[in-house]
Amino acid sequence: MQFRLIISKLCLALAFSAAPFSGAWAQDLPANTVATVNGIAITYDDISLAEDELIGLVGQLPERQRFETLVGYMVDRILAAKAAREAGLDSDEEVGKRIEFMTQKALQDVYIGQLLMQRVNEDAVDTYYKENIVNGPRQEEVRARHILLDNKDEADAVIAAIKNGGDFVELAKKRSKGPSGAGGGDLGYFDKDAMVAPFSEAAFKLKKGKISEPVKTQFGWHVIKVEDRRTKPTPPIDDVRDQIFQILISEARRALYDEMREGADVVFVNTSPSSE
């Protein structure tokens, strides 16, 4: 959704930059034209569809590079399609099969998209937020520090130093081999699922201010200190809105297909993989 807004802004910028050079731009081409290829318009809608098709390839590109890649993709597509028509492929059987397949996909995408927009709206998001997040189960969190060491003997030595008055934070800075060592071993607040099982089990058994016995994980040996315990705060709805939308869309999509399949006569004729 955010990228579509970015594309829209880029398209607008291109339109304004082109306007002084061609008085026919706004008159003869669609208002959301991005570029032309031999007089054929490439529109924002084309770029948006190309993004959907290529998101796995361009999703991590910087905004401007992604936009330019998608425009280039559409330029190549228009040129290749024109060449294919000139080569007489309009009536090719393989082309016909693909057109039928893509027609079904287009109908499916638009139809399901329209139904999802009807079923998943702001009211549905608000309801989910209140029922499942505000009034849902509340997770416990701990705030802990740790000192990561290579072996149990080193962990025992750290514990002995703490019992003799050593400062946990300073010991973490000097002895911990973990990336949190520079910050005194501070891991911030986390829930049980955020850490590997042995670490979480030990941390959540400790009372506030207490220090663990040596704990072994695949990363080494840990000495853990719990600094605080709390119920996980309820996140503001704006922080989780996108996640809720994705959850509701996934549930609604599955429900739609289940409803359609209930009245369908689906027969599996040959489910063996082709050897060709």
Q: Tens of pLDDT along 112-122? A: 999 999 999 99
Write the CA distances from 29 to 39, 40, 69, 88, 272, integer angstroms. Answer: 9, 9, 22, 28, 50
Contact 227, 144 (CB under 8 A): yes
Q: Tens of pLDDT along 131-174? A: 999 998 888 999 999 999 999 999 999 999 999 999 999 999 99
pLDDT at 145: 98
Q: Does position 43 have pLDDT exceeding 90, yes or no?
A: yes
Burial of 108 (0-12, 13-18, 19+ CB in 10 A): exposed
Which amino acid is it at 202?
A
pTM over 0.75: no
- Name the band, by pLDDT with cuts 50, 70 and 90, for residue 16: very low
Q: Average model confidence (pLDDT) for the chain? A: 89
Q: Residue 256: how many CB atoms within 10 A of its CB?
A: 15
Write the CA distances from 7 to 42, 65, 69, 76, 193, integer angstroms. Answer: 13, 11, 12, 19, 37
- Name the band, by pLDDT with cuts 50, 70 and 90, for residue 8: very low
Eight-class DSSP state of 54: H
CA dihedral 173, 174, 178, 183 (to 10 degrees): 10
| CATH class held by domain 140-231 | alpha beta
pLDDT at 178: 86
- Name the band, by pLDDT with cuts 50, 70 and 90, for residue 11: very low
C-alpha span between 95 and 76 (Å, rounded) = 18
The string of DSSP letters for 210-271 reads: -BPPPEEETTEEEEEEEEEEEEPPPPPHHHHHHHHHHHHHHHHHHHHHHHHHHT-----S--
C-alpha span between 51 and 58 (Å, rounded) = 8
Residue ranges per domain, the chain? 2-87, 140-231
C-alpha span between 128 and 131 (Å, rounded) = 5
User: Would you report the helix, strand and coil content of the chain in percent, each value rounded to 5?
Assistant: 60, 15, 25
pLDDT at 26: 45
pLDDT at 9: 46
- Show the CA angle centred on residue 159, arms to residues 153 and 165, nearest 5°: 140
